[in-house]
Structure 1
């Protein structure tokens, strides 16, 4: 499930045709525009035949680091184990988590096959967060429902979660990471070892 969720989100970054009806609230409008701009930039990156593969990967990593709140997501998925971890473990986890996510997304760069992406609505969840609702149209395959959780907490909005067909990426990571820690006498170190190995596999 961990790998499937990452592959699904990777595909979402590469789709085109961001469209949507007008929304009632400024927060929802801003979140929708944020998701729209991310999609437009991803498509421009993919369609630029002047860039080689390494340049496209570098551009993709720039988008992910800029528009996803990877430190916040990482702390969330580690849950209570974040507070239990040493400062050194926290630093290594943050680095490995970001590296692994970026590596998986970059490895899927060539899998874009012309899917289209439609914004269908947005819901303000609280004063800081909005869920932008979208549908991925995939030719002959059934459409895929995807919700982007956008948090405005400071100078710019950032994505803090993506739910594919109602399944949260952040909650999936949290469950799987917690299981690794709970089922090993090495605790957090066991998870760090797993992330080291998986990062190597996807490089």
Structure 2
């Protein structure tokens, strides 16, 4: 079983500023309990926020700090600027509603861990990266799409689009489109298919994520 979020979301970490365009795959992520006043952000403000977030990520990637230090710094950035909980819930699809509260909590915690492990495992591949920010567009659901180009040493440029929500009261990444695929939609298909093949048992996915984490160095 793969976790595509690692591959695409890593680009979030490396490109460092980044998100979506007009050909975004539409979807309706599950809402997080607790409404917040939603501030109105201009395109300029969103670009500035994404640039600052991206620069934080790139500075970690390009630093000479230890793998452990980089992992800790990336975890802070992800928790602050990426709505990992919403992504995790959406990726579980219809099975989120049948999971027990205990399973929901454990799954989200595991999703965080698998994600950060996969991102930090590949940091060395992206040293020397930089990025450019393109246009900002409004997309379905009041979210925003920001186009970016990731420049990697001795490799082709990568076009990445980031979907940003301000529902929490501040901008946060809720999806990424890379290689013509949506992070959330692709990962949801993988997870829900896995659960369906295992008797519609959410515990099967939880156990698989635990095994994946246990094998991580």
* Distance in 1, Cα, partners of 2:153 & 2:211: 35
CA RMSD of aligned residues (A): 2.4
* Distance in 2, Cα, partners of 1:114 & 1:12: 15
Q: Normalized against structure 2, the TM-score is what? A: 0.80
Structure 2 residue aligned with 1:22: none
* Distance in 2, Cα, partners of 1:129 & 1:8: 19
* Offset of residue 132 of structure 1: 0.5
Deviations 1:20-77 (A, max 9, x none): xxxxx9533232222211111122233444x433222111110011111011111111
Q: Which runs of 4+ in 1 moved over 6 A?
A: none
Q: Normalized against structure 1, the TM-score is what? A: 0.85
Task: Give the alignment of 1:14-29 within 5 angstroms.
Answer: 14-15=14-15, 26-29=41-44
Structure 1 residue aligned with 2:129: 115
Q: Which runs of 5+ in 2 are unaligned?
A: 19-39
Whether the aligned pair in 1 keeps the contact of 2:58 and 2:129 (CA below 8 Å) is: no
Count matched residues.
196
* Distance in 2, Cα, partners of 1:140 & 1:111: 11
Q: Which runs of 5+ in 1 are unaligned?
A: 20-24
* Distance in 2, Cα, partners of 1:91 & 1:4: 21
Using CA pairs below 8 Å that are at least 6 residues apart, which structure has the higher relative contact order?
Answer: 2
* Distance in 2, Cα, partners of 1:140 & 1:74: 33
Structure 2 residue aligned with 1:7: 7
* Distance in 2, Cα, partners of 1:39 & 1:130: 16
Structure 2 residue aligned with 1:37: 52
